[in-house]
Amino acid sequence: MKNVFAASGMIMNEPLLWEKGKKGRRAMDIAESDVPTARLDSEIAGDGPDFPDLGELDVVRHYTRLSQWNFGIDTGMYPLGSCTMKYNPKINDKIAATPALASAHPMLSDDSCQGTLHIMYELQRYLAEITGLDAVSLQPAAGAHGELTGMLIFSAYHKSRGSKRDKILIPDTAHGTNPASAALCGLHPVPVKSGPEGIIAPEVIDELMDERTAGIMVTNPNTLGLFEENIRQIAEIVHGRGGLVYADGANMNAVMGVVDMKKCGVDILHLNLHKTFSTPHGGGGPGAGPVCVVRRLEKFLPVPKVMKKGRKYVLDTDRPHSIGRIHAFHGNFGILVRAYSYIRLMGADNLKKASRLAVLNANYIKEKLKKDLHLAYDRPCMHECVFSDQNQHDLKVSTLDMAKRLMDFGFHPPTIYFPLVVSGAIMIEPTETESKDELDLFIEAFKQIVREAKDTPDLVHQAPHITKVQRLDETTAARHPCLTG
């Protein structure tokens, strides 16, 4: 293969922070005190922490070297399925750092912070428009936090109707966090098997949905990258028996401008701003997981809620039906600003185009690789496609091996071994921001790995070869945890 991106370069070794430094060094200025030294009661005085003393350049080189051992979207294609690793526009970071916004204290009076409230109010409006739902809370700090908020609303809704429900339907193609979020609200997950086409059959729901079931949590498009075509019928069954429909909107990137979630029968949906709305994932957060609801559930949304009274924005805390507060303040505001900025840059037509190109890119990869890799469900996909290692079983080359080998070609591996319904799953979500050139290189790399699996399997088994470290011993890490140095 000609265009192998990755090469091992000048990667520096770097010890742990406390393995360097000298007592008395400092990487931060502290001005001389302009007040007298006060008496400190020995009863409260402690010794202070045992931190290493480092100079400014020590710290700068340390983290610069660490950063060079990392791979981000800016480094290369990052096709993690269901994670929507699209390009994170730099301008969003600049907008979020606007001094008047970044320095705002969260407990100012409403009059004092009209600018931050304006952004939140507008973003609420945009997200309602994009999903087709009526009201939005921006407080949840991540997708799973949004799910929890949704389940708290389920619980408050049923309680308000004097209805005791302790079960919830969760399909095998839903996101992994769903069962744990429901369990926190005392709801026992009832697994729903998807049908042979990879989507849920209404008959299954008809059988499972009863008066003790709070509703359903469905990921749509699901984690197989398929649209739940029967969603409307499923919603009718659930509603008919007093339940609610929760949609995990982590995969909203596939359907902006196309699908109306309210028309699908969805009552509550969370969005991941760090997926669909281009905010950076930061190596594991901070994200943001706003929750959108239909009108009849608006009264249950968390407090405070940003409202507009005349020309003034206010924080409404007097909402007796609300589930309460879910974050100390207003959620991850700095992330909300980035999503606001993204939507302003894109506008309606470009958001729709983003979804269409995301779907085009996924289908393109699916078509180009389906002769080489086993395709779990051979039908048109949405924003992601799911292959498996079934064709490589006899060669004793696994999904993990192929994923690791992709690193040597300069690509981040796809999501692997998820969804669980596909054994040895390889879940690829290219996103719309990857160009055809990039996709072609990825496809060519994967084809070569498939050839290698046959011709030189050891090369694949032992991959990655050019990363700073080789495969790591995760078993020992878990058996004898070393969590601090």
Partner 1 sequence: MRFLPHTKEEITSMLRDVGADSLDDLFSQVPRECRRDAPMVLPAPTTEWELNEQVKEIADMMEVQPDFNVLIGAGSYDHHIPAIIPALTSRSEFLTAYTPYQPEMAQGTLQGIFEYQTLTARLLGMDVANASIYDGASALAEALLMGIRIAKKKRKVAISRAVHPHYRQVVETYFRPTEFEVVEIPYLSDGRTDLSGLSAEDELAAVAIQSPNFFGVIEDLASAAEKIHGAQAVFITCFTEPLAYGLVKNPGSCGADVTCGEGQSFGIPRSFGGPGLGMFACLEKYVRSMPGRLVGQTTDLEGKRGYVLTLATREQHIRREKATSNICSNQGLCAMTAGMYMACLGGSGIRELSRLNYDKAEYFKKELTRAGAEITFSSPTFNEFVVGFPKRFKSAAGRLKKKKIIAGLELDTYYPELEGKYLFCVTETVGREVMDAVVREVKK
The least CB distance from residue 187 to partner 1, in Å, is 8
Peptide linkage before 304 cis (omega within 30 of 0): yes
Our CB check for partner 1 shows the closer of 317 and 454 to be 317
Strands 268-270, 244-248: pairing is parallel
Our CB check for partner 1 shows the closer of 223 and 392 to be 223
The least CB distance from residue 188 to partner 1, in Å, is 7
The least CB distance from residue 195 to partner 1, in Å, is 14
Our CB check for partner 1 shows the closer of 394 and 403 to be 403
Within 139-241, strands assigned E span 167-171, 188-192, 213-219
The least CB distance from residue 250 to partner 1, in Å, is 10
Residue 321 to residue 300: CA distance in whole angstroms: 5
The least CB distance from residue 255 to partner 1, in Å, is 7
Our CB check for partner 1 shows the closer of 6 and 453 to be 6
Closest CA relative to residue 297, chosen from 331, 264, 321, 316: 321
Our CB check for partner 1 shows the closer of 82 and 388 to be 82
> Do residues 335 and 288 touch, judged by C-beta distance below 8 A?
yes
Our CB check for partner 1 shows the closer of 156 and 294 to be 156
Our CB check for partner 1 shows the closer of 67 and 454 to be 67
* Six-digit token string for 21: 């430094």
Residue 118 to residue 313: CA distance in whole angstroms: 7
Residue 317 to residue 287: CA distance in whole angstroms: 24
The least CB distance from residue 353 to partner 1, in Å, is 6
State how far Cα 371 lies from the chain centre: 30
Our CB check for partner 1 shows the closer of 264 and 397 to be 264
Strands 385-388, 415-416: pairing is unpaired
State how far Cα 354 lies from the chain centre: 18
Maximum alpha-carbon separation in the chain:
77
Closest CA relative to residue 240, chosen from 268, 269, 216: 216
* Six-digit token string for 254: 């596939």
The least CB distance from residue 418 to partner 1, in Å, is 8
Closest CA relative to residue 326, chosen from 297, 277, 288, 294: 288
The least CB distance from residue 394 to partner 1, in Å, is 25
* Six-digit token string for 232: 């409307």
Our CB check for partner 1 shows the closer of 89 and 171 to be 89
Which residues neighbour 41 within 8 Å (Cβ) at sequence distance 6 or greater? none
Residue 407 to residue 409: CA distance in whole angstroms: 5
Strand partners, 269: 247, 292
Our CB check for partner 1 shows the closer of 255 and 445 to be 255
Check the CA dihedral 138-144-145-150 and report its sign.
positive
The least CB distance from residue 337 to partner 1, in Å, is 8
Our CB check for partner 1 shows the closer of 394 and 437 to be 437
* Cβ-based neighbour number of residue 395 at 10 Å: 16
The least CB distance from residue 85 to partner 1, in Å, is 6
Residue 326 to residue 332: CA distance in whole angstroms: 12
The least CB distance from residue 368 to partner 1, in Å, is 7
3-class secondary structure, 18: helix
* 277 membership: H or E segment, kind and range: none
> Do residues 425 and 418 touch, judged by C-beta distance below 8 A?
yes
Provide the b/e sequence for 295-330 (b: ≥16 CB within 10 Å): eebbbbbbbbbbeeeeeebbeeeebeebbeebbeeb
Our CB check for partner 1 shows the closer of 278 and 398 to be 278
The least CB distance from residue 371 to partner 1, in Å, is 13
Our CB check for partner 1 shows the closer of 1 and 180 to be 180
Provide the b/e sequence for 231-259 (b: ≥16 CB within 10 Å): bebbbebbeeebbbbbbbbbbbbbbbeeb
The least CB distance from residue 210 to partner 1, in Å, is 19
